[in-house]
Structure 1
Amino acid sequence: AGWNLEEMENHGTDPARRWRRMRETIEAMKAIWANDEGEYHGELIDFDPIWQWPKPAQDPHPPVIIGGDGPTTLKRVARYGDGWMPIDGRNRDDFAPAIAELNDLAAEQGRGPMTVSLFGSGPNPARIEKHAKAGVDRIVFLVPPAPADVVLPLLEERARLAEQFA
């Protein structure tokens, strides 16, 4: 929903209402994707019937991945998302308890297990193995914005590492 409060304000979103805006945006997008005439009437997002084509190839809609790792994130992911993307090393070292809690919360909503994509992990094989055993489905590595002679070797290294866990 936006961790950078100054940035939120600069873009016209009251930080106190940022989750409400995100929730309504998710609900509105799902209404557009799922219906020939999408319509949504919320407090912050409001529109009469509209058309959007082509519809997404994914059924019923593209996966909605929610980031974050605050005290309400897992409940929000279980209710509104299709997956969770926390940042590695930010709030926790072991993701297994949170993944178990997320899947329990999803089951309470009548939903299946959630996918977990971990953002910002370093190329540490032992740590990646630990995350895989905890239930992390995907790791998103950071690569610096740099010239090709710097980036290409890093991509090759990450590709070799990914092959170990495929």
Structure 2
Amino acid sequence: MKLGIAMFPADFAVRPDELARAVEDRGFESLFLPEHTHMPATERTRAEVGELPAHFSHTHDLFVALTYAAAATRSLRVGTGICLVPQRDPIVTAKAVASLDALSGGRVLFGVGAGWISEEIAHHGTDPGRRWSVMAERVKAMRRIWEDDVAEFHGEHVRFGPLWSWPKPHRPSGPPVLVGGSGPLVASRVLDFGDEWMPRDVRPDAPMTCR
């Protein structure tokens, strides 16, 4: 059995490079970092999700933090746990993931999710009600960029003509895509655009906010 650690990379917590060295030294396989770009400071979000801990609005940029973690270690796998794909440009994110994977020697685990805080998602120009279909297309588009020398994608939410984008990931097909979620459709999403399932850390009888 391989074990990993997950931790919010808040600016008031341990540095990601220091944490990564400690995790690797203790024999763990991986370190996963989540992300939130920001927290909406509104009554609407407070009513939706309640009072969240401070680390939700204090996280370092996900890929900057993971780069520090990878550079400070030799074999530790570094993962997005999760990357909020509906809140990110797919071409820019494809390059960030590929760069980190290439520079780390193929140590990236790309966990993806659709998010669960409506206003946070909407601030990035994505309709929260369509976040799952947006995520699916963006992941498929990123895979196309990783795999093809001349990539293009024409979907409902993602459209771009022929483009060149390097570096390519360490592996030709890109890093493993771990699909986050625990709703009834998660298995079909893993089969559609993922490689593995990343379950949520909740009790089986807990209320679901991600479907």
Q: TM-score, normalised by structure 2?
A: 0.41
Question: In the alignment, which of 156, 169, 174 is matched to residue 56 of structure 1?
Answer: 169
Question: In the alignment, which of 108, 125, 139 is matched to residue 26 of structure 1?
Answer: 139
Match of 1:119 in 2: none
Match of 1:15 in 2: 128
The residue matched to 2:200 in structure 1 has which SS? coil
Residue identity in the other structure for 2:200: I
Question: In the alignment, which of 195, 199, 205 is matched to residue 82 of structure 1?
Answer: 195
Unaligned stretches of 5+ residues in structure 2: 1-113, 207-211
In the TM superposition, residue 90 of structure 1 has moved relative to its aligned partner by 4.2
CA distance in 2, matches of 1:16, 1:89: 23
CA distance in 1, matches of 2:171, 2:202: 32
CA distance in 1, matches of 2:140, 2:200: 24
CA distance in 1, matches of 2:166, 2:123: 32
CA distance in 1, matches of 2:136, 2:189: 9
Match of 2:75 in 1: none
**Greater CA radius of gyration, 1 or 2?**
1
CA distance in 1, matches of 2:116, 2:137: 18
Higher helix share: 1
Contact 1:69-1:91 within 8 A present in 2 as well: no
CA distance in 2, matches of 1:43, 1:19: 13
Identity across aligned pairs (percent)? 51
Q: TM-score, normalised by structure 1?
A: 0.52
In the TM superposition, residue 92 of structure 1 has moved relative to its aligned partner by 5.3
In the TM superposition, residue 76 of structure 1 has moved relative to its aligned partner by 0.5
- Residue pairs, 1:1-166, within 5 angstroms: 1-91=114-204
Residue identity in the other structure for 2:158: I
CA distance in 2, matches of 1:16, 1:59: 33
Q: Give the root-mean-square deviation of aligned CA atoms.
A: 1.7
CA distance in 2, matches of 1:91, 1:59: 36
CA distance in 2, matches of 1:37, 1:92: 46
The residue matched to 2:174 in structure 1 has which SS? coil
Offset from partner CA, 1:73-96 (integer Å, 9 cap, x none): 111112211111112224359xxx
